[in-house]
Chain A
């Protein structure tokens, strides 16, 4: 049944640090690589080397310009994948039961052999986390690398999602957000982690750490105001040129 569990034993998810992300897209590539070769149908591309390339991705990095009231604009890179919501609207709309949320760890998955490719779950997701694969005609989404995190054939250091393992900036963290003592929960508490689109009522498990405020340099040089001002008017050749052009 595609009803949601009342509670999950764990709430596995990601914490994404918008202060640290450098926008390199390494997580996008490693996600595509891992998930093309492993769990479920491969992530296909259409017209990959042609004029209008397009493909299935489970993780995409947006970039936003934020202009404060005063000062310079900031550029913020913004990775986005499935947030494994507690009230996942994508699960309850599924007519076949292909979409489900696991009781043991809260991961939202698609059973691809039950998926009819109607696309309604992607309609129900406010985050654009689900994409229909144009080759396999089934819905694809982030599995939180369910085939890595419990995989005892991998070295322990690799038993985390591919995107987290790859991130060269340490901007992605993986853990149990249901446990208030876990590293990720403490990080969220410390840095004021937030939900995306909280008004949609999806209660996402993944959290985003907002960029830290930019520091400002205080005026520490007490003698600077007494220095002779730098000459504002150009002299020499430039001065002559300035005057000559003025007269024209």
Chain B
């Protein structure tokens, strides 16, 4: 799959933002007044910034409001509904903390769950796709949720939670890579099932429909980055999990915490890039590619 920068930025930053909103909704850390204002501003910049960047890959962003209508069938629509609901509920809860020094806890918990729900619906957009076997597995939502919770804990300054959740997210990441590498083969979809010509003999793509490229090849057959995939996995894992955990275990300083957050964000961006670049869409089989 083509790793579109807007989608990578969206899923990384909104994942972090909604992760932070989850912790804030449960009153962790306890904030009020200006400190609440600072935390909520960071969370909203990340969550809303991510959502806005996701509209950059739309052909007709001016019609985006229509995307709220099909929540009964479409995970993308559900994501939109969930995101807006979470942002509105958390804005009211945040206003209570900032202006009235009042923690309306039921509202906070509802907002926290909606925030987590937004990350889950984002993950389900990818998980539902049978056409991309690497994504079509139950670990995909776990991967998105664990990283969002870990990143949120990191931003919320919850050192113990952050260390535990980062290690858990790291384990999930390794599992998704290992299972993902086998997914296409295990899906049973190959050039023989695509063409139904396997009964005659061994099928080989002889000639593509056109000498030039097309939308399908640009969007679904992305092979450039896979050459360095293993190296990038190591880099991503080091930045996303290992470095932040080590920095958090050192005696606390604000500078180290900032470095831990920056390393984590860079690592998640790399991980998300791999999430797309390594994903094989079955349509590539018709072109003798993957």
A69 near B72 with CB under 8 A, answer no
Residues of B within 8 A of A93 (CB): 73-76, 125, 128-129
**Closest-CB distance, A4 to chain B (whole angstroms):** 8
Residue of B nearest to A59 (CB): B209
Cα A240 to Cα B205 with chains together (Å)? 47
Interface residue? A40 (CB, 8 A) = no
Instruction: Tell me the chain A residues, 75-100 only, with Cβ under 8 Å from chain B.
Output: 75-76, 78, 80, 89, 92-98
A3 near B73 with CB under 8 A, answer yes
Binding stretch for chain B, among A7-15, A118-126, A164-172, A227-235: A118-126
Residues of B within 8 A of A78 (CB): 195
Residues of A within 8 A of B76 (CB): 93-95, 118, 120
User: Which among A52, A64, A92, A119 is the interface contact of B74 at CB below 8 angstroms?
Assistant: A92
Residues of B within 8 A of A118 (CB): 57-59, 67, 76
A64 near B195 with CB under 8 A, answer yes
Q: Digit string of B235-248 for contact with A (CB within 8 Å is 1, else 0)?
A: 00000000000000
Residues of B within 8 A of A123 (CB): 1, 129, 131-132, 219-220, 281
Interface residue? A117 (CB, 8 A) = yes
Residues of A within 8 A of B73 (CB): 1-3, 92-94
B214 near A126 with CB under 8 A, answer no
Q: Digit string of A55-78 for contact with B (CB within 8 Å is 1, else 0)?
A: 111001111111111000111101
Residues of A within 8 A of B191 (CB): 64
B203 near A131 with CB under 8 A, answer no
B197 near A119 with CB under 8 A, answer no
Interface residue? B228 (CB, 8 A) = no
Cα A97 to Cα B194 with chains together (Å)? 28
Residues of A within 8 A of B209 (CB): 28, 57, 60-62
Interface residue? A196 (CB, 8 A) = yes
Instruction: Tell me the chain B residues, 191-215 only, with Cβ under 8 Å from chain A.
Output: 191, 193-197, 199-210, 212-215
Instruction: Tell me the chain B residues, 213-262 only, with Cβ under 8 Å from chain A.
Output: 213-216, 219-220
Residues of A within 8 A of B210 (CB): 57, 60
Cα A57 to Cα B210 with chains together (Å)? 10
**Closest-CB distance, B85 to chain A (whole angstroms):** 16
**Closest-CB distance, A118 to chain B (whole angstroms):** 6
Residues of A within 8 A of B75 (CB): 93
User: Which among B66, B129, B200 is the interface contact of A68 at CB below 8 angstroms?
Assistant: B200
B207 near A131 with CB under 8 A, answer no
How many chain A residues touch B (CB < 8 A): the figure is 66
Q: A118-B58, A128-B216, A200-B131 are in contact. Are A210 and B197 (CB under 8 A)?
A: yes
Interface residue? A26 (CB, 8 A) = no
Residue of B nearest to A138 (CB): B59
**Closest-CB distance, A126 to chain B (whole angstroms):** 5
Cα A62 to Cα B204 with chains together (Å)? 11
Instruction: Tell me the chain A residues, 97-123 only, with Cβ under 8 Å from chain B.
Output: 97-98, 114-120, 122-123
Interface residue? B106 (CB, 8 A) = no
Interface residue? B44 (CB, 8 A) = no
Residues of A within 8 A of B220 (CB): 123, 128
Q: A97-B69, A122-B219 are in contact. Are A52 and B212 (CB under 8 A)?
A: yes
B214 near A54 with CB under 8 A, answer yes
Residue of B nearest to A68 (CB): B201
Cα A92 to Cα B72 with chains together (Å)? 9
Cα A153 to Cα B70 with chains together (Å)? 36
Residues of A within 8 A of B58 (CB): 116-118
Interface residue? A187 (CB, 8 A) = no
Residues of chain B whose beta carbon lies under 8 Å from any beta carbon of chain A: 1, 57-61, 63-64, 66-70, 72-77, 80, 125, 128-132, 187-189, 191, 193-197, 199-210, 212-216, 219-220, 281-283, 286-287
Residues of chain A whose beta carbon lies under 8 Å from any beta carbon of chain B: 1-3, 18, 28, 52-57, 60-69, 73-76, 78, 80, 89, 92-98, 114-120, 122-128, 131-132, 134, 136-138, 194-201, 208, 210-211
Offer 18 A-B interface pairs, CB within 8 angstroms, sorted by A.
A2-B70, A52-B213, A54-B212, A54-B214, A62-B287, A68-B201, A80-B286, A93-B75, A118-B76, A123-B219, A124-B131, A127-B283, A127-B286, A128-B220, A137-B60, A196-B195, A200-B189, A201-B130
Q: Pick the 8 closest A-B CB pairs, nearest first.
A: A117-B59, A137-B59, A60-B209, A68-B201, A95-B77, A128-B283, A96-B66, A95-B67
